[in-house]
Structure 1
Amino acid sequence: CEHFQEAIRVDPPEPPPVRPREPSAEEKFHAAAKAGDIAAIKSLLIADPELVYSKGEHDRTLLHHAARHGHKDIAELALDKELKINAETDLGWTPLRFAAWHGDKDMVELLLARGAGAKSKGMMSLSPLHAAVREGHKDIVELLLSRGVDVNEPQFGWTPLHKAAYGGRREIAIMLLEKGADMNLRTSPGWTPLHAAVREGHKDIVKLLLAKGAEVNARDSKGCTALYIAYDKS
C-alpha cells in the first residue's frame, strides 16, 4: 500500500518590527519652524548652518513658516540670516501675504520695517491687501494703505472694494471709499462693487454704495443691472 507523509504545517516567522524612519535634518528643521521651537532651530543650525536656506513643503522657507504661524522671534532670526523677504512659495505666497491673511499686525509691521514689498504680488495675483480685505482684517488694510498700496489694486479684475462688497466687509468698504476707491470699476464679467454686494445679499453695503453715488444702472457683460440681479435672486 501507499504511504503518505503528512505535511507538517509550520507558521511563518513573525517579520521583524519596522522601525520608523528617522526624520532628516531638513524635516526636523521645518517641523521646528512650524511649531515655533526656536531652541531646536538654533541647535540644528549649529550642526548645519546651511539649513537656514532650505525649503520645505510647497517651497516654504523658515520665514514663510514664521509668518504663517505667527512666530515673531523665528521671523527675526530668519531676517537676521538675510533670508529673502519677498520669496514666494510654489503658489506665489510671500511671508507678508501670510501675515496679512492671518491678521498678524505685529508680523506685518516687522516685515514692512525690514523691507517687505507691500505691493508685491505672487503668480496667483493675491496681494497682501487683497488677503487682508478678504479675511476682514481692518487694521492690516489700514496699515497697508498707509504704505501707499494702490486702493484699486486689481486681482483677476477684482479691486479690494469688490472683495469688501462681496464679503460683506462694511467697515473695510468705508475705509476703502475714504481712501478713494473707485465704485464703478468692473470685473471681467462687468460687475461693479454694487453688483457684488447685491449678488451676496449685503444690504448694508448696497445702501453704503448707493449713498456714496454708485452707478445704480450699471450693466454687467450680460446686460444685467444690480436691480435685475436682486430680482433674479428673489
Structure 2
Amino acid sequence: MRSLSIVGNTFGCSASGERLVSAARDGDFQEAKALLEYNPRLAKYTTFGGGNSPLHHSAAQGHNEIVSLLIESGVDINLKNYRGQTALMQACQYGHWEVVLTLVLFKANIHKTDSLNGGTALHLAAINGHSCCIRILLADYIPSIPSFYKHVKKRSRIAQFVSESNDGTSLYEIINRPADGGVTALHMAALNGHFDSLCLLLDLGASMNEVTREDGSTIDLIGAGSTPLHYAAYGGNPHCCQILIARGASLTAENEKGWSPLEVARLWHREWLEGVLSAQRQHRITTLPSPYLSLPFMCVVKIARECGWTGGPVSNSTDPCAVCLENKCTVAASGCLHELCTRCALYLCSTSNTSSGPHAPPGSIPCPLCRHGIVSFKKLTTTKPLLQPPFKQRPSISCCSCSSMPGNNETPNAQETIPLSKRKSDSHSLRSQKFLPLKFESNLCTRGTDTISSIVRRSHLNGYSRTSFRWSNAQLKGGRSWFCSSDQSVETERGR
C-alpha cells in the first residue's frame, strides 16, 4: 500500500507538472499561477523526455509574465535542459528581449555554455541577428561613461582595455569567446549577414583576427584558420564584408586551405563580391558607431536591481512619468535632467536604435522628451532601496519525492555578472525581492521571433554535394551541428 501511495503521488506531480509546462508553453498565466499557488515545487519540474523546465518553455516562447512568476517561485534561473541550454540561451536564440532583460536583471549567468557545441547566449543571439539581446547581455560590462567608444576605438592593446570585472572576466573575453571549432559571435553574425549585430560586436571590441580550428562538433565549411571575413565572403553579404574591411580586416589572410576571402567568394560563386574583396581598393570607407550601442544601460540596471523596476503608483503629491503616465518617476537623465520611471528607462535602453545628435557621445540614447543624448541615469533622492525580507516559501501540498523536483531548501548556485564599477555585495538574493513583472506593450526588436532555419542558408547548399564539407569526429558519431541548432530547437518546442 505504501508503494502504491508513492506511485500515486509521483503520477499526480507528473500530471500537474505537465500542466504547468503546457501553460508555460501556451502563455496561460492564470493556469500557471493557480498551479504554482497549489504547489510551488512544480516550478522545478522537468519533462521526462526532454529535460525542459517550465522556465525553458516560457523563455523560448517569450512569455515574460510567466518567467517572472517562475522566478518568484524560486526556480533555478541557470537550470540547463537536456541540450545544456539555459532559459537565457533560449530567449536569446528566439529574440525575446523582454525575457532576456528580466533574466539579466535577476543576474542570470551569461557565461554558461551548452553541452553540444560550447556556445553561449551571445553566440545564439549573434546567429539570428538579435542586436537588442546582445546589448542587454552585455549591460554589466559597458560602463556609462561618455568616452567609452573613444577608448574602445583607439586602444592599442584591446585585451588590456579597462573592462575587467570582479569575477575576472573582461568584455574582450566575453565578446571573443570561441565555441567548438573556434567560431566566435563575430563569425556567426558575418556568416549570416546580420549587419547590425556585426557592427555592434565590432564597436564592443570583437576581434577580426580570431580564426577557426578543426575541432569540436562544428561542421568545417571553409577550412580551419578562417577569419570572420572568410565567413562573410561565404555568406555573401557585401555590407558585412565592407564593414569588416573598413575596420581593418585583412584581404590577403589565408586559411589552412590556402584560400583568401576573395578565393572563398569565387569558390562559392559569390561573383558580386569581386569588387568588394579586391586588394586594389582605393581607400577605406568611414564607419559610424552602431545605433545599438547603449551607454546608460549599466547604471539603470543597477538602479533597477537595487530599487525595483517600478516606482509604484503615483500619489497626489507626485508627478507621473511623462512617458507611461502610470508610475512614479525614479530616475533622471544626465544632462537634460528629465525624469522617468525605471521601467521606461529600461525600455528605452533596450529598444532605442536611433542615434543621438552629432555632438552627443557615441552610444548615448536620445531622450524621448527633448532628444538630448543620455549617457547615464541618476537615482532621484525620493527613490528608496527595496526592503529585502527573507524569501518565504509557500507551503507545498504535494508529498512527492520524485527526483525531477528537488526540495525547496536547495539554493541555486547563480553566478553573478559584476559591472566595471565597484558596488556593494548584495546581502540577499534578488529572488527575495518582490518585483512586479516587466510588462511591455510591443516587441521592438526588429527580428522578433523570427529564427534562421539554419546558420547556413539552405539555398547555398543546394548546389553542392554532401562531400563538399568535412565533418569532425563528433559529427560523424551523431552529434548535432552547431550550425543547425537554432532550427531544431524551434521544431522541438512547437512539436510538444
Percent identical among aligned pairs is 27
What pairs with 1:24-43 in structure 2 (closer than 5 Å)? 25-26=45-46, 27-43=53-69
Give the Cα separation in 1 of the matches to 2:94 and 2:140: 19
Q: Which has the larger radius of gyration?
A: 1
Q: Does 1:58 align with 2:65?
A: no
Post-superposition offset of 1:95: 0.9
Give the Cα separation in 2 of the matches to 1:33 and 1:152: 34
Counterpart residue number, 1:178? 246
Equivalent residue pairs, number: 195
What pairs with 1:2-17 in structure 2 (closer than 5 Å)? none
Counterpart residue number, 1:153? 210
For structure 1, list consecutive stretches of 5 or more residues without a partner in the other structure: 1-18, 214-234
2:118 maps to amino acid: G
1:124 match: secondary structure: helix
For structure 2, list consecutive stretches of 5 or more residues without a partner in the other structure: 1-11, 19-41, 47-52, 142-170, 214-224, 282-496
Counterpart residue number, 1:14? none
Post-superposition offset of 1:54: 1.4
Post-superposition offset of 1:211: 5.3
Q: Does 1:196 align with 2:264?
A: yes
Give the Cα separation in 1 of the matches to 2:80 and 2:206: 29
Give the Cα separation in 2 of the matches to 1:111 and 1:176: 23
8 Å Cα contact 1:97-1:131 kept in structure 2: yes
2:183 match: secondary structure: coil
Post-superposition offset of 1:39: 2.3
Give the Cα separation in 2 of the matches to 1:84 and 1:45: 14
1:207 match: secondary structure: coil
For the structure 1 residues 53 and 197, does the alpha-carbon distance in structure 2 shift closer, same or farther, using more than 3 Å as the test? Answer: closer
Q: Does 1:89 align with 2:114?
A: yes
1:186-230 Cα shifts (integer Å, max 9, x gaps): 1111111121011012222123223536xxxxxxxxxxxxxxxxx
1:52 maps to amino acid: I
Give the Cα separation in 2 of the matches to 1:170 and 1:177: 10
Instruction: Choose between structure 1 and 2 for higher RCO, CA contacts under 8 A separated by at least 6 residues.
Output: 2
2:70 maps to amino acid: L
Deviates more, 1:64-73 or 1:131-140: 64-73
Query: Structure 2 length normalisation: TM-score?
Result: 0.37
2:63 maps to amino acid: D
1:35-57 Cα shifts (integer Å, max 9, x gaps): 1222222333333x143231113
1:40 match: secondary structure: helix
8 Å Cα contact 1:152-1:161 kept in structure 2: no
1:151 match: secondary structure: coil
Is the helix fraction higher in 1 or 2? 1
2:104 maps to amino acid: L
1:141-194 Cα shifts (integer Å, max 9, x gaps): 111111121122212311111111122221111111111111111111111112
For the structure 1 residues 212 and 112, does the alpha-carbon distance in structure 2 shift closer, same or farther, using more than 3 Å as the test? Answer: farther
Deviates more, 1:92-101 or 1:37-46: 37-46
1:11-36 Cα shifts (integer Å, max 9, x gaps): xxxxxxxx9x5336242222112112
Structure 1 moving runs of 4+ over 6 Å:
none
2:262 maps to amino acid: L
